[in-house]
Each structure stands twice: as C-alpha cells, then as structure tokens.
C-alpha cells in the first residue's frame, strides 16, 4: 500500500473511532479550547494592565465546559456560552481573547446539527449579541466587522460540513444498494442455474428408471453433483459476507476465487449432463481476462444457458467466445422456440431477472448486451461485447 493509501486508511480509522466515541471527541475539543483560553493568562502582561486572577480564569473555564454537551444540545450550549462570555465582559476585567473560541465552536455546532428553526434563531441572536459585545468592549467598526466575519465563517463551515455529510450518506446508501443488487445477481445466477438443471434431471429420472436404469443413475448423480456445486458457491459467498470470520453453516467457508473462463468447460459439462447438447468454440486468441471480467463472463454464459434450459425447449446450444479488435464477444445461441412465440414454458412467480442480470453484468464491465432471434430467425441468441485490456496477452 502506498503512502496515500496508508494515510486514507488512517483517516478512515480515525473517523470511525470518532463516530464510535463522540463523548471523547467533544471532551478533547473542550480541552483544546480551554488550552487556547489559558494562553492569555500565562503570557506575561504589560504593567499597566490589571493582573489575571483565578476568578477570571474560572469564568473562562465555564465558557468552555458546556462544549462537552454540544452534540446533544447545540442551541442550549450556545446560549450557555454566550451567557458565560457576557458575565466575563460585565463582571470582570480579565485578559481578553484574540478569538471567541467557545462561541465559534458553538455556532459551528448549531449550523451543523441543529434544526432549521434553531439555526434561524441563532442568526438573529448573533446579529444582536455581536454588536452589543463590541459596544461593551472597544466600540470599533474594525472589531465589529471582524467579529461578524468569523462568526459568519463558523456558521458557513458548519453548513458546508452538513452538506458534505449528507452527500457521503447518499453515496453510502447508493453503494449499499449496488452491493445488494450485485449479491442478488450472484445468488440468482447460482440458484437459478442449479435448480433448473436439477429440475430437468428430476423430470427425466422416472422415465429413465423404467426404460434405462443406467441413465437414471447418471441423472441422479448429476442432481447430486449440481446441488453440491451450488452449496459450495453459496458457502463461498455467504462466508465472504460475514465480518471476516469465514464461517457459514457452522464451518469455514472456502475462500476460492469466483469461477472464471477456466470454469466454463466444467459448466458446459454439467449442462450436457442435463440432456442439452452444447458446443463450445473460441477464436481470435481468447485472452486471460482479469479475474473480475472472467467471473462476469462465466456468469453470463451460466445465466444464458439457464435461460435455454428453462424456457427454450432447445435440444442444442452453442457458446462462442471470440476475441478481436480489443473486445471479447460472447455469443450463446440455441435452436429452441425463440422469442415471442408464446410457446415457452411459463415462468412461475412472474418474469425472471436473468436477461436483465446479463445486461447489468455487461454494463459493469463497460460492455453491451443484446438478445433476440438466432441466425435466420431461428432459436434465441444472447450477444455480449466486453472490452478487454490491451495489456493482457494470451495464447489461443
């Protein structure tokens, strides 16, 4: 990890710690403000100025102490700070402060956390309190302008931080929605493919038992193998979703990578075991894809074949992977009923999401997906085009 990455990780950890320990953060802010307020009391004063007293120092502490509660009650804390500051101005002639630290922190907190009516009340209150404070102190236009500027800046910074936090929350919600959609696609593809093959084999089993017992044994073995494969993939996914424990279903979930191009032949063998003849062809020097792209190609082929098994009534399908001109073309064609005939097996529970998922997977890799009639208008064809990084070299 580079220096920037390490710094980003440290910031994220610090932010997470602050979110988990707000009281500690607010206490630290109050102590920091108190340290700033202490400076005029420890720096030597001119002989013509009144000496700093413990009473004056104690009153400055009262202005900083409410900041510990600033998140829970932003407006009351601001009122308490203003009251303590007014008491300091009116009752004591202690050292002045270069900046109204406590007031600035309180105004920033109101702008960040308070509801709109409290923010409006704060604005009105500051427009009244700041001129009065300046009149009691120096009565100079310079101090009035400076005070209005710094309080206004604190308020603006609070509003900007609120907008930034809202944007982060929206982005986090969008990221969570994208992740939920991705997990839903993976679960759909795994279960839909496995269940479709198991249903086909189970339907063929009783017939095979009566006519060819040896074929029935093969069918039941295929059902068992398909079910085990689905369980393995589901355990991998569920294990990765847990908080790093790697446990799912009472045991450690395998951390094997998702299937990629190397897994396509095995996938086709499982489909062939269900009775569908599947041809497989590669051309143009199909490349060793990045892991993420290879996984998407595997899932696209898987879902396209699942669609063939469930809905087309086809006896034969063809899978072609062709690399040319910096793209990988994935084509899955069958000789089934084709779209729009009204003869496909009805989908239980409403329309499926397989073809939609294929389009989403292609778009996630910067590619496109099209579906429609096969060559010469017969059957059905899924056509996907994915860009392939030109820096990855592969043999055919």
Rg for the chain, CA atoms, rounded: 35
> Half-sphere exposure of residue 217, counting CA atoms within 13 Å on the CB side?
3
pLDDT band, residue 363 (cuts 50/70/90): confident
pLDDT band, residue 347 (cuts 50/70/90): very low
**At 361, is the secondary structure helix, strand, or coil?**
helix
Cβ count near 294 (within 10 Å): 21
- Average the pLDDT over each of 39-43, 90-94, 108-112 and give the range with the smallest value: 90-94
pLDDT in tens, 180-217: 777 777 777 667 667 766 666 666 666 655 666 666 66
- Enumerate residues 6+ apart whose C-beta is below 8 A from 316: 276, 277, 278, 279, 334, 335
pLDDT in tens, 3-18: 666 777 777 777 777 6
- Top-confidence residue, 89 or 66: 66
Q: Following CA atoms 31, 36, 42, 46 in sequence, which dihedral angle do they give, to the nearest 10 degrees? A: -160
Structural domains of the chain sorted by starting position, each given as residue range(s) with its CATH number in brackets: 3-139 (no CATH), 260-396 (3.30.565.10)
- Enumerate residues 6+ apart whose C-beta is below 8 A from 231: none
pLDDT at residue 215 in the model: 60
Is residue 105 within 8 Å of 28, Cβ to Cβ? no
Q: In the beta sheet, which residues pair with residue 369?
A: 384
pLDDT reading at 32 higher than 70:
yes
Is residue 346 within 8 Å of 370, Cβ to Cβ? no
Cβ count near 175 (within 10 Å): 10
Strands 277-283 and 316-324: parallel
pLDDT at residue 346 in the model: 37
Instruction: Report the run of H or E that residue 99 belongs to, with start and end.
Output: none
Beta strands in the chain (DSSP E): 247-248, 251-252, 277-283, 316-324, 327-334, 368-373, 380-387
Give CA–CA dist 238/257, Å, rounded.
Answer: 13
- Enumerate residues 6+ apart whose C-beta is below 8 A from 156: 111
Query: Rounded mean pLDDT of 373-377?
Result: 82
- Enumerate residues 6+ apart whose C-beta is below 8 A from 212: none
Give CA–CA dist 357/384, Å, rounded.
Answer: 12
| DSSP one-letter string for 11-66 | HHHHHHHHHH-HHHHHHHHHHHHHHHHHHHHHSPPPTTSPPP-HHHHHHHHHHHGG
Provide the token pair at 242: 């847990």
């Amino acid at each position: 990890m580079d220096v920037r990455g390490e710094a980003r990780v440290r910031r994220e950890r610090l932010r997470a710690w602050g979110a988990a320990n707000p009281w500690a953060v607010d206490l630290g802010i109050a102590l920091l403000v108190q340290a700033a307020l202490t400076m005029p009391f420890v720096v030597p004063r001119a002989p013509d100025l009144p000496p700093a007293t413990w009473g004056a120092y104690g009153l400055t502490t009262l202005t900083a102490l409410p900041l510990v509660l600033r998140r829970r009650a932003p407006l009351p804390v601001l009122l308490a700070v203003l009251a303590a500051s007014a008491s300091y101005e009116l009752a004591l002639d202690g050292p002045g402060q270069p900046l109204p630290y406590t007031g600035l922190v309180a105004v920033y907190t109101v702008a960040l956390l308070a509801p709109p009516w409290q923010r409006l009340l704060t604005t009105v209150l500051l427009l009244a309190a700041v001129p009065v404070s300046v009149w009691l102190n120096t009565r100079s236009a310079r101090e009035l302008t400076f005070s209005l500027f710094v309080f206004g800046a604190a308020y603006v910074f609070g509003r900007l931080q609120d907008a930034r936090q809202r944007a982060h929350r929206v982005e986090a919600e969008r990221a969570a929605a994208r992740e939920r959609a991705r997990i839903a696609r993976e679960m759909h593809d795994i279960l839909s493919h496995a269940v479709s093959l198991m249903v086909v084999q189970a339907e063929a089993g009783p017939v095979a038992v009566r006519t060819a017992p040896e074929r029935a044994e093969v069918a039941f073995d295929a059902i068992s193998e398909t079910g085990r494969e689905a369980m393995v993939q589901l355990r991998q996914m569920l294990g990765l979703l847990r908080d790093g424990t790697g446990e799912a279903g009472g045991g450690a979930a395998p951390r094997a990578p998702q299937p990629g191009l190397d897994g396509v032949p095995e996938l086709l063998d499982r489909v062939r075991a269900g009775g569908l003849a599947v041809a497989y062809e590669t051309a143009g020097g199909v490349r060793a894809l990045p892991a993420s792209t290879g996984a998407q190609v595997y899932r696209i082929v898987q879902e396209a074949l699942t669609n063939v098994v469930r809905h087309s009534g086809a006896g034969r399908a063809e899978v072609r992977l062709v690399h040319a001109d910096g793209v990988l073309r994935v084509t899955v064609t069958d000789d089934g009923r084709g779209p729009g005939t009204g003869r496909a097996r009805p989908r239980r529970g409403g329309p499926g999401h397989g073809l939609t998922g294929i389009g989403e997977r292609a778009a996630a890799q910067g590619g496109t997906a099209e579906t429609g009639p096969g060559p010469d208008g017969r059957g059905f064809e899924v056509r996907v085009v994915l860009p392939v990084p030109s820096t990855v070299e592969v043999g055919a």
